[in-house]
Chains A and B, each alone.
Chain A
Amino acid sequence: MIRWLAGHPRARWLLLAGGCAMLGLMMALAASIGTMPISLDTTLKAIVNGTGISHFDIAPIEEGIVWQYRMSRALMAACAGAGLALCGVILQALLRNALAEPYVLGISAGASTGAVMVMLLGVGGGVLGVSAGAFSGAILAFTLVLMLARGLQGGTTRVILAGVAGAQLFNALTAWVVSTSANAEQSRSVMFWLLGSLSGVRWPDALLALGTVACGTVVVLLFARALDAFAFGEDSAASMGIPVTTVRIVLLTITALMTAIIVSIIGAVGFIGLVIPHAARFLAGPNHLRLIPASVVIGANFMVLADIGSRMLVPQQVLPIGVVTALVGAPAFALILYRHRPGP
């Protein structure tokens, strides 16, 4: 049904608007659920107060919880979902690999390592922020994985194998730095960096992510046709007039940047970048001008839903967000791997 609708130009805009409306509703829902349940009515009023559009009389404590704690968290979830899904779309198109995404390729792990190096070891002497550290780590990990993949010639799975090696290495480094650091307890745990967590997200974090992902989406949309041209590889893209090297550098840098910002705020959350683009492709088809908005909207919705799930699945406990995404993502990864196995 949705797939059929997606084939019609006007219905496409309607679907996109529907997806955005659903995202708004999900975020409101996420803001009303928690250890202190707040009615949806009060939640909506608190959100209206927070954005400064109008003013309703509600209890300040409820307004504070909804706006200061839960809305920033919901917005961060939406941005992370959208950003990671977008990274997945870019990587799958440029590397021509159905399994490519920041977590599988070790970019998230590299960003974690960079972030903890700055945060706990003081690398950069205070000049380098946590985001900049994460960005350097992400670029380093990415370069390393691509170089290793080039060395391991043969088969499209080699990038994934290189990614697995890179992820293990950088996760070990992160775990080492966090475990041996004296003030690790005061900051964030190993669990945070390896599985991700949305707790403790505040407005400045969420707004930084929003800005990065919004800019990233616009730039990637500009390159949507170029990504289409990569369907048959780099040479084919070049012969259709695409400046291949420029496109690769720009888009891979954006991927590293978005991953770094997201990881430095919520840790390494896996499989979003893998599952969402495939789901979006199923609905919107392979054309990137449609696939990119679809992935962004579905990714944002999915992540907010996953956050609600992480707080509802086990009563009185909050699961790390990465646990929820991996529960959905790992079987999807296996399924895609199975479908892409070499034919008889």
Chain B
Amino acid sequence: MLSTHHLSLKAQAHLLLDDITLTVNRHQTVGLLGPNGSGKSTLLRCLAGLTRPDSGGVTMEGVRLDTLGRRHIAQRLSLVEQHAVTDVDLTIKEVAALGRIPHRGAFSHWQQVDQQALECALQHTGLTALQHRRWHSLSGGERQRTQIARALAQKPDILLLDEPTNHLDIQHQLELLTLINTLPVTCIVSLHDLNLAAGYCDQLIVLDQGQLIAQGTPGEVLTPELIKHTYRVNARVATSPAHGGLLIDYLPPDPVIPA
């Protein structure tokens, strides 16, 4: 569905992405993990076609992304950014309707297909009843859902989300990830919380200093060794007695032995 081949990106002498080759399959929810500055956002920007890699490339269903026009990409792939800020006085419905832009001409009327996509997007995100609320009056969770509604109105096959759970309380984090899981699209979502990643993702990708460290199911990827290696944190990975899934316990750091 979406894959990268030997993707590399440099900023000055610093390697942001180092030879990344990965494949994402259809209708999976893929978690993108890694410490701060490991290249998660940069990888998402490359996948969205916003940043051109220095070498290697991204292919969507076998077609190279850089041979497609921006608008073509936007009709099939949408991105929810980490911080969405605006001065414009828009309602939820108006923000979500922005997602129809790649499908509309300069002067074309609002058509049946646009209306259906919009209603569907609002319904999926549970915003139908709130659609006339103003953006500035929304809470962080509602804004995030509104941005997801906008992205869904694009009718994408692939949805990229950059740390969507940032600044949300635990209830809204769980709600948001449940929502992402039920969406009928392929999702690539960058996350910080390993337990949430284990609970909600089908596949995980781990980055560290621009390099791909691991890719696989949560059970394969989330081992104490990997957590120690990438996050420099001691952890124990167990099976939760409550839900049977993975449970990651963080342990105190190794005692420093005085010399």
Minimum C-beta distance from B187 to chain A (A): 15
Inter-subunit contact A286/B106 (CB<8 Å): no
Inter-subunit contact B70/A242 (CB<8 Å): yes
Inter-subunit contact A238/B70 (CB<8 Å): yes
Contact with A along B81-107 (1 / 0, CB 8 A): 100111111100011001101101011
Q: In the complex, what residues of B have CB within 8 A of residue A241's CB? A: 69-75, 101-102
Q: In the complex, what residues of A have CB within 8 A of residue B85's CB? A: 232-233
Contact with B along A217-228 (1 / 0, CB 8 A): 000011111101
Inter-subunit contact B107/A238 (CB<8 Å): no
Minimum C-beta distance from B83 to chain A (A): 9
Q: CA separation between A221 and B50, bound complex, in Å?
A: 25
Q: CA separation between A96 and B86, bound complex, in Å?
A: 8
Contact with B along A199-242 (1 / 0, CB 8 A): 00000000000000000000001111110110111011011111
B79: CB under 8 A from chain A? yes
Q: CA separation between A281 and B79, bound complex, in Å?
A: 28
Q: In the complex, what residues of A have CB within 8 A of residue B70's CB? A: 238, 241-243
A3: CB under 8 A from chain B? no
Inter-subunit contact B87/A229 (CB<8 Å): no
Inter-subunit contact B106/A239 (CB<8 Å): no
Inter-subunit contact B89/A289 (CB<8 Å): no
* Contacts known (A235-B50, A286-B90, A289-B107); A242 close to B84, Cβ less than 8 A: no
CB nearest to B74 among chain A residues = A241
Q: Which of A245-279 contact B (CB under 8 A)?
A: none
Contact with A along B101-123 (1 / 0, CB 8 A): 11010110000000000000000
Inter-subunit contact A231/B88 (CB<8 Å): yes
Q: In the complex, what residues of A have CB within 8 A of residue B88's CB? A: 231, 286
Q: In the complex, what residues of A have CB within 8 A of residue B75's CB? A: 241
Given contacts A232-B84, A236-B84, A238-B50, 5 further A-B contacts (CB under 8 A): A221-B106, A221-B107, A229-B101, A240-B154, A243-B70
